[in-house]
Amino acid sequence: MGDIRFAIELKVRDYELDAQGVVNNAVYLHYLEHCRHEFLLSRGIDFNRYAREGIDLVVVRCELDYKAPLRGGDAFRVTLALERLSPLRFVFLQEIRRQGDDRLVLAARTIGTALNAKGRPFLPPEMERLLS
C-alpha cells in the first residue's frame, strides 16, 4: 500500500470549549474522525454512502495521549498515517499539532474494521485496494 499520509487544517470553534476554557476531551475524537473521513473521501470512499448500503466502518479500539490543550482561537493540523494490521483490521496513526509553534496536542492510534449488512467483519473492495 506504500506510504499513506494525509492532513487537514482546522480552527477551534468556541462551542467546542468547556468550562475549563479548553477544547473538551471528546471533541478531539470529532477532529480525528473528520480527518479520517476526509482522507477516505479523497480516495473515493464515502462513509455515508457505505452507511446507506449497510456497510459500517467501525472503530474497535482507540488510544489517546493528551499532551497539551487547544484553546479558543487556536488553529491546528490533524495528520494521519494508515497501516494494515491484519487481514480485516487497519490502524490510523494520528497527531494533532497546534499551528504556529507546532506543539503536539494529541497523539492517537485508532484501530478499525468494516462490518457488512449482517454485522460480520469484512473489507469492502475499495478498502482492500487502499490497504494492498
Residues with catalytic roles: 18
Q: Please report whether residue 93 would count as binding a copy of itself according to CB under 8 A.
A: no
Compose the 29-48 pattern: x for residues touching a copy of itself by CB under 8 A, - for all others.
xx--xx--x---x----xxx
CB of 81 to a copy of itself, least distance (A): 19
Single-letter code of the amino acid located at 54:
G
CB of 38 to a copy of itself, least distance (A): 9
Cell digits for 86? Answer: 491484519
Please work out, in degrees rounded to the nearest 5, the angle formed at the alpha carbon of residue 21 by the alpha carbons of 15 and 26: 60
Q: Please report whether residue 79 would count as binding a copy of itself according to CB under 8 A.
A: no
Strands, E assignment, 67-103: 75-86, 89-98
Among 4, 43, 56, 124, binds a copy of itself (CB under 8 A): 56
CA–CA distance, 37 with 105 (Å, rounded to integer): 20
Q: Is the dihedral of CA 20, 26, 30, 31 positive or negative?
A: positive
- Residue number, 4 or 27, with CB nearest to a copy of itself: 27
CB of 20 to a copy of itself, least distance (A): 5
Strand-pairing partners, residue 7, are 79
Cell digits for 127? Answer: 478498502
Q: For binding to a copy of itself (CB under 8 A), which residues are involved? A: 13-15, 17-22, 24-27, 29-30, 33-34, 37, 41, 46-48, 51-52, 56, 58-66, 69, 71-73
